[in-house]
Amino acid sequence: MSRRHLSTGATPWWLPGICLVLTGWCANQYVSLINWYQQFRDLSEFEAMLVMGSYLVGMIPALAFGGPLADRFGRKPFSLIALASSILGSLVMAAGALNVAGLYAGRVFTGFGMGLAMVAITSWVKLLSPGAAGATRAALCTSLGFAVGPIISGAIVGASAHPEIAYAAHALATIAWLVLIAVATGEPRVPFAGPAGIGSQTTPENRRRFIRIVLPSAPWVFGMAATGFAVVPALSDGAGGSNLLYSTVAVAVTMGMGTIIQPFVRRFNNVRKISLLMAGLATALAALLLMMAVSLTGSELVGVFAFILSGAANGILLVAGLSQVLDLAGSADVGKLTGRFYMVCFIGFTFPTLFALWRLIAHPVLFIGILALLCLGSMVLVYRGRTELGGTGLEAVNG
């Protein structure tokens, strides 16, 4: 890539896109090992889920402050920090072999890197992509990373019984890509051409649309992913406490389905309709009802179908929600609004920890039933907010 090429900012979108894959790999490499840590490192179910949830301690501030800073100072510097934090996360996670504190600290660094990636790198991919393609590309790269990470870690730990090797593999791959991104990419010094004009703030109308339509559906983006790959294995007979293979399959199928479905639903995506958001929430509700059946029967086979529906809901809602955000955001607010969207999305990542606490006091099926009622409530809120799209009645629903 020539110096002239860099000076015009003509960086291929997939160069930062791979950064999303690598940070997603880091973010999810632990989740297929939850049951393994319970069996071989003597973590309780609650502690294993708490380690996963500690990721949010690093992610929330990154999402809250990283977006506005990236909007102001550029996406590339914060993308490099995201990769560096993911590398540090893997290396500190490897220290968890000596002390469980390393697992918590590593997950915090991981969450910080993923949070920055979701605002800075998503914005960078959008900047390098024509039209609405940026949202689809960013969502696809994020989901691909979430899918490949646990597959790689599960395979390595299954063969070696040493998660430290899995974390080292991620760190080495990410170091190589960080160097490449640092020396082989440029970022154009121009603002986004947002819907309200160059350098614009998000309009009050678009902010209302964001609050009334996008945010009610957001918790189910990663709520469905987390319940699919973390809660369902704990509900299935013979899988909840020891089966590394089943846990790896859970993440691979859930996140793999979330990745595969995105290009197919993109053709039905219309940011002036709520149809895709409603379809995603309906799929989420169906997945939760299926999880209730898993809880009552303990069937691993029914659990696989729950993985598929959970992943489908995750993919549909990620494409629909992120497309809405990137359409709504003024050019000066892309990172900020993206960060707020993902902050609400990651509320769903607390579901497995809450599930582990709930199971200490009551039957799991009640917890899944409460989630189903909350999901139904989100559908009602999104439908009631449809008038913010400029239509009323069925014309705002039908895509």
State residue 64's pLDDT score: 87
CA atoms within 13 Å, Cβ hemisphere of 191: 19
Domains of the chain by start residue, with CATH: 3-396 (1.20.1250.20)
CA distances from 340 to 102, 218, 233, 286, 316 (A): 29, 10, 30, 27, 19
Whether 171 contacts 90, CB under 8 Å: yes
- pLDDT digit string, tens, across residues 282-291: 999 999 999 9
User: What's the full length of the chain, in residues?
Assistant: 399
State residue 104's pLDDT score: 95
CA distances from 168 to 24, 82, 92, 181, 315 (A): 15, 17, 10, 20, 29
Global model pTM greater than 0.85 = no
Question: Does residue 197 sit in helix, strand or coil?
Answer: strand
Whether 277 contacts 190, CB under 8 Å: no
Compute the distance between CA of residue 268 and CA of residue 126 in angstroms, rounded to an integer.
20
Confidence of residue 20 (pLDDT cuts 50, 70, 90): very high
- pLDDT digit string, tens, across residues 96-155: 878 889 999 999 999 999 999 988 888 888 888 877 788 788 889 998 999 999 999 999
Please give the single-letter amino acid code of residue 282. A
Whether 92 contacts 102, CB under 8 Å: yes
Neighbours of 5 (CB within 10 A): 11
